[in-house]
Amino acid sequence: MKVGWIGIGVMGRHMAGHLISAGHQLAVFSRTASKCEPLVARGATLARTPREAAEGADVVFTMVGRPDDVEAVTLGDDGALSGMPPGSILVDHTTSTPRLAVHIAAWAAAQGVLSLDAPVSGGDIGAEAASLSIMCGGPPTAVERAMPLLELMGKNVLHLGPPGAGQHTKMCNQILACGNMIGMTEALIYAHRAGLDAEDVIRAIGAGAAGSWAVSNLGPRVVKRDFAPGFMIEHMSKDLGIALSEAERMGLNLPGLALAHQLYASLLRHGHGKDGTQALTLALEDTAKYKSL
């Protein structure tokens, strides 16, 4: 299958790589062309614009940073939709706004293109292992046709409803993930102050009712003070801002979400935007007057 891929970041590079491994023909675009070099070395074609990556493609994937990036690479003068033929499928894996997903779906439909908002969860670990959860919003036909490619990148691919439903589901994911991260990092701060071996604590609670993906995968990174990003704070802060905006639009007051957004925004202001979300411990350690090892 001929595939266009737009956005080669921490996760996108692995996801695109799985498609190459499965024998699909990829044209790849990134604003930083050097990020494409490993994929080009494996047989991908380097595109100069999103439009060039999309021309003649059966399916085009976007995996960029922010809603305005999605809009630019999709609807801009050299955007993907300007090069996509009727009958092709546009899949946006970026975590973006539900309203933009609906808007893009309408523009795509006007030119005979099917569109899916399909944000993912699982971080760099899930992207590399092809075990992502992929949350799809859009026409059932688009999900059915894209499924052979989506299953190369994820183990849990679900159709949640019409355009925007994938993004709304990702907001649910981020609300839960950030609350879980607060609990995990506070628990490890408590463990250290109580004189416990934090790695033993992770093994003990990770196997019980309090166990979670964050505890098992990011807890050990916190203990080692490894803040390399699987998912960057700047992206989580953006996502929580979207979730807060959507919650307010629906008349919801979600204090846990507001607290998490405040903590991540603080880290962003202090220069930790490129760190992984597990660096939340830095904000909580400061709040707890905690001295790290």
Q: Which residues are annotated as catalytic?
A: 170
276 phi/psi in degrees, rounded to 5: -75, 160
Q: Is 82 helix (H, G, I), strand (E, B) or coil?
A: helix
Beta bridge partners of 137: 117, 161
Of 27, 279, 11, the closest CA to residue 133 belongs to 11
Question: To which residue do tokens 């925007």 refer?
Answer: 164
Which residues, other chains included, contact 251 with Cβ-Cβ below 8 Å and sequence gap of 6+?
none
Burial of 239 (0-12, 13-18, 19+ CB in 10 A): buried
Q: Is 156 helix (H, G, I), strand (E, B) or coil?
A: strand
* Residue 176 neighbours by CB distance under 10 Å: 15
